Structure 1
Amino acid sequence: MHILITIPFHIFAFYFSRGKSAFLLAGYNTLSDEEKAKFDEKALCKFMGKIMYGISFSLLLFGLSDIVDRQILLLFGLLLLIGFIVFALIYGSTKNRFKKK
């Protein structure tokens, strides 16, 4: 089941990493057109693509831990997942990194 969940995450990561599909980003999608013009959409999408690849890899480790019956893979995947989420929250919300200059 975890591997099936990984597939859409990997597909989303692919589109985000190409600088497209910003309409899928919930916070960005709700901004007005004037506010959206202040952001570098391509850089934001590429960043989210990298995060989605990391999350996809973490979910893959969840599934792999079930297949080989090793709890250490589940623990490592969980730590990676939490790490990617915390990193994305901190990195994305500090220093106006994705604002146009």
Structure 2
Amino acid sequence: MGTIKPTIYLLKEDVTDPKKLFKQSLKSKEENGCTLYYKTSGKNTPDWADFVIDNFQLDSNPFRNSSSYAVVVIKVKNRYFAIPLSEEKLSRIS
């Protein structure tokens, strides 16, 4: 396993419910005072795949994307910290 270099965000003081940070509903799991918010990964065909397949002779569609997304949220005293575990950025974190 590679080294994880996390970015840790201190959430704004007005954030009282971390679930409201996310634009979509995420699954969650709470353990040891931390909450993991995540979405299930899925395989998606990129928008451009049909163009490539229609214009080049390929035996099958080798183009599949999969994205994973998870955020660990920790409450310390009355403030929340968030540690995103993906390349996506969170909209309300600063």
TM-score range (shorter-chain normalised) is 0.3 to 0.5
Structure with higher strand content: 2
Superposition TM-score, scaled by structure 2 size: 0.34
Superposition TM-score, scaled by structure 1 size: 0.32
Structure with higher helix content: 1
